[in-house]
Structure 1
Amino acid sequence: MEVQGKIKLIDETKTFGSNGFRKRELVVTTEEQYPQDIMIEFVQDKTELLNSFQVGQNVKVSINLRGREWTNPQGEVKYFNSIQGWRVEALDASVSSNMPPMPPEDAFEPANDLNEDDHDDLPF
């Protein structure tokens, strides 16, 4: 599954427990009629995927839905869901590469002297 939108928040990597479990949260705001702030967690080595991204960038995040059952000390069964990310791709070409943005169409002069009979772009 995938989630597309604009990065609203990139949290710091947090470490839990004695075994060094790492987690980092990303919030993406979807761009639809009713925008949603979707929190996606990245765990262990996937936390480093977020290092090259910044707030305001448009991204596509590949996710897995995770669910688990937990029984509390009183014996009640509870269910929890999480959204785990495993890949992030930039959608803005101007942000993800070093190329300058394309100038607007009206910045170019039209080719008024083009004669289709004289124009042959075939290489043979």
Structure 2
Amino acid sequence: MEITGKIIQVLEKRSGTSSRSGNAWASQDYVLEFVDGNSQFPRHMVFNVFGEDRISQMNIQVGQTLTVSFDVDAHEYQGRWFNNIRAWRVVAAPEGAVPPVAAAPVTPATDIPAPTAEAAPAADDKVDDLPF
């Protein structure tokens, strides 16, 4: 799969040593903002790059517009399922590849009646502002 968007956050790198093999590992997550063709609002996706060599090679920075090629997989842990979106290739997107986010259309509210003096509570009335 492939998606183009702008990096809005680089999360903290995690690293450690595998208990099975004893080898060192590193993993870093990134937040990508993109425009879905079916929505007028931007969407966000967190993807992962695994391996110190790939993290260094990709050198992903906040503000970059990138095309991310990734695989989606899921794993189960203690009866719950979690998605894993792992990038395998990241390239700079061509200029203008990400369409601008369209603003929501603004329509004037003409059917809302103007407040009247009768609707305002009297000074001695208690106003219940609880939502339930």
Q: TM over 0.5, yes or no?
A: yes
**Matched-pair contact (CA < 8 Å) for 1:28–1:39:** yes
Match of 2:33 in 1: 29
Structure 1 stretches of at least 4 aligned residues deviating more than 3 Å after TM superposition: none
Q: In structure 1, what is the equivalent of residue 108 of structure 2?
A: none
Query: Which residues of 2 match residues 77-116 of structure 1 at below 5 A?
Result: 77-93=79-95
Q: Does 1:49 align with 2:49?
A: no
Q: CA deviation at 1:14?
A: 1.9
TM, length-normalised to structure 1: 0.61
- Deviation of 1:92 (Å): 4.2
Overall identity of the aligned pairs, in %:
31
Distance 1:55 1:92, change over 3 A: farther
Cα RMSD of the aligned pairs, angstroms, is 1.9
* Unaligned 5+ runs, structure 2: 96-132
**How far 1:12 moved relative to its partner?**
4.2
Match of 1:39 among 28, 36, 46: 46
CA contact (8 A) 1:65 1:84 kept: yes
Once the two structures are TM-superposed, the CA of residue 69 in structure 1 deviates from its matched residue by 2.0
Spell out, residue by residue over 1:36-60, the C-alpha distance to the aligned partner (whole angstroms, 9 max, x if none).
Answer: 1110001113222331x42112110
- Name the counterpart of 2:126: none
Q: Is the 8 A contact 1:10 1:50 kept in 2?
A: no
Secondary structure (helix, strand or coil) at the match of 2:35 reads coil
CA distance in 2, matches of 1:22, 1:28: 20
Other-structure match for 2:100: none
Show CA shifts across 1:26-82 (max 9, x none): 11100242211110001113222331x421121100000011122x3xxxx221111
Letter in 2 for 1:81: N
Within 2, Cα distance between the matches of 1:34 and 1:49? 31
For the Cα contact (< 8 Å) 1:8–1:55, is it kept in 2? yes
Structure 1 CA distance for aligned equivalents of residues 82 and 57 of structure 2: 25
Q: How many residues align structurally? A: 87
Q: CA deviation at 1:8?
A: 0.5
Residue 3 (structure 2) pairs with residue 3 (structure 1): yes
Cα distance between partner residues in 2 of 1:50 and 1:8: 16
Q: Which runs of 5+ in 1 are unaligned?
A: 94-124
Amino acid at match of 2:24: G
